[in-house]
Amino acid sequence: MTTENIEILRFTTAGSVDDGKSTLIGRLLYDSKSIFEDQLETLEQAADLSGGSEINLANLTDGLRSEREQGITIDVAYRYFATPKRKFIIADTPGHVQYTRNMVTGASTANLALILIDARKGVIEQSRRHAYIASLLRIPHVVACINKMDLVDFSEERYNEIVADFREVAARMDLPDVHFIPMSALKGDNVVNESVEMPWYKGRPLLTFLEEVYISSDRNMKDFRLPVQYVIRPHTDEHHDFRGFAGQVAGGIIKKGDPIISLPSGKRSKVKSIQTLDGELEEAFPPLCVSICLEDEIDCSRGDTLSTIENLPYVVNETEADICWMHETPMAKGRKYLIKHNANVSKMMIKEIEFKIDIETLDKMYDAESFALNDIGRIRLKTMKPLIFDAYKKNRNMGGFIIIDEATNATVAAGMLRSAPKDIPQPEYEGYMI
């Protein structure tokens, strides 16, 4: 198998201060021999200067000087490494409350989340908060890494207590696939290699789990969606009749000859051909970037969506969404913003704030009047142009969006669309009801 064909796993890390996130990632890179010689030399020199006998693996990921000086992670750092079985992209995100937006950013595209728990402290408020964000962002797989087991004498009893506590949290938050691994990132137990100190643990070490976790079914392969990024019309003698609708397949499978509908116009046709830079395909599926040619000339432009006739997406101007406010300027209810959903950009306004989440207790506050930096909650929004979407729970590619300040062009929020409210009427397309 060539490296180009190796599957990519994107995962994010989360934990409170001193839970050992940076050390864990450093251990993964170090023990899997995924660091360069000059990086290793720098770490060894730093260890000599500090008078220590061992290198500080956390310095592999805490790249900012301010992070190294404080011994904390304050920004999202992306790391890349590979094994013969899989490629990995790590989003090392800060665990502090004031950096919630950074965690949301790093976790938004993740297949898997590592939530670190200090074996001495157990499941604390920040553990619950990180689990809530993982649930909100619909991360398909969660691994609770019970770290620093060496500081509790590798106690199986302590491990079982933490597992029971976290299972209770996961059940409340609808986390469907949760796994537990006891480890010591500092010592290397159950990170890359099996631990001889914990023979009672019969599971896989972390790296083996990351190599083997099944992620192919994480994408929605049932409902075909192609948000149109660009309409290709070469205007040459050779391709005078070519008209392709280009974009990245966001869900489902499409084949030549399949009936298709363009939304929001509702015009229908059939797939004539599926083109890529490497030639023509018989079928397309996520995450391929393709250009679809249709048998008929229909009304379809950038920002529209091609869909199969069955299981149509929502097409509405008003809906509910969960958001994380990401800007220092607070939200103003009733103020006009821009919403960017795939290639569709529309003016919007926030009609009402349904509730805001108390990030410490996870209680819902129904009397909120605004959102400040890092606040998370639910809103009802209204757009000038119709949104063509699936609920984020159903298809992350079709349910995610950002809110932009029209005056400054700054991204002020990221959001996850929910199922359209029942009181909002759905359009009917030539006998096919959404």
Domains of the chain: 3-218 (3.40.50.300), 225-307 (2.40.30.10), 314-428 (2.40.30.10)
Q: Tokens 């970037």 sit at which residue?
A: 289
Q: What is the mean pLDDT of the chain?
A: 84
Q: Which helix (H) or strand (E) holds 226?
A: strand 225-227
Residue 212: the pLDDT is: 94
Is-cis flag, bond preceding 287, omega within 30?
A: yes
SS3 label, residue 206: helix
Higher pLDDT, 432 or 408: 408
Of 93-102, 230-239, 419-428, give the lowest mean pLDDT range. 93-102
Q: Which DSSP state fits 167?
A: H
SS3 sequence, 71-99?
CCCCCCEEEEEECCCCEEEEEECCCCHHH
- Using one digit for the tens of pLDDT, what is the confidence trace for 365-379? 999 999 998 889 999
Please enumerate in sequence order all residues whose Cβ is within 8 A of that of 169, keeping only pairs 6 or more positions apart, or say none: 123, 127, 128, 131
Q: Alpha-carbon distance 379 to 349, whole Å?
A: 10
Neighbours of 382 (CB within 10 A): 18
Residue 15: the pLDDT is: 78
- Using one digit for the tens of pLDDT, what is the confidence trace for 313-354? 999 999 999 999 989 999 987 788 999 999 999 999 999 999
1, pLDDT greater than 50: no
Give the residue-averaged pLDDT of 185-211.
94
Percentage of the residues of the chain whose pLDDT score is greater than 70: 84
Using alpha carbons only, how large is the chain's radius of gyration in Å?
24
Is-cis flag, bond preceding 259, omega within 30?
A: no
SS3 label, residue 124: coil
| Phi, psi torsion values for 22, nearest 5 degrees | -65, -35
Residue 264: the pLDDT is: 93
Sign of the CA dihedral with 197 first, then 198, 202, and 205 last: negative
Higher pLDDT, 206 or 58: 206
Q: Which DSSP state fits 331?
A: P
pLDDT band at 2 (very low <50, low <70, confident <90, very high): very low
Q: Alpha-carbon distance 13 to 106, whole Å?
A: 9
Higher pLDDT, 40 or 177: 177
Longest dimension (CA), the chain: 76
SS3 label, residue 106: helix
Q: Alpha-carbon distance 335 to 428, whole Å?
A: 31
Neighbours of 84 (CB within 10 A): 8
Neighbouring-strand partners of residue 362? none
> Which residue from 365, 376, 380, 368 is spatially nearest to 321, judged by alpha carbons?
380
pLDDT band at 411 (very low <50, low <70, confident <90, very high): very high
User: Could you please report the per-residue DSSP string of 109-122?
Assistant: T-SEEEEEEETTT-
Give the residue-averaged pLDDT of 302-307.
95
Residue 349: the pLDDT is: 93
61, pLDDT greater than 80: no
Give the residue-averaged pLDDT of 37-46.
55
- What region does 84 belong to: left with phi over 0, alpha with psi -120 to 50, or beta? alpha
Residue 178: the pLDDT is: 95
Residue 76: the pLDDT is: 62
User: Could you please report the per-residue DSSP string of 235-299?
Assistant: -SSTTTT--EEEEE--BS-EETT-EEEEETTTEEEEEEEEEETTEEESEE-TT-EEEEEESS---
- Using one digit for the tens of pLDDT, what is the confidence trace for 123-174? 988 888 888 888 988 999 999 999 999 999 999 999 999 999 999 989 888 8
pLDDT band at 54 (very low <50, low <70, confident <90, very high): low
Strands of 277-410 (E only): list them: 279-281, 283-284, 289-294, 305-307, 314-325, 336-341, 344-357, 364-365, 376-389, 400-404
Give the residue-averaged pLDDT of 388-395.
93
pLDDT band at 215 (very low <50, low <70, confident <90, very high): confident
Give the residue-averaged pLDDT of 274-303.
92
Residue 4: the pLDDT is: 57
Q: Alpha-carbon distance 386 to 365, whole Å?
A: 29
SS3 label, residue 204: coil
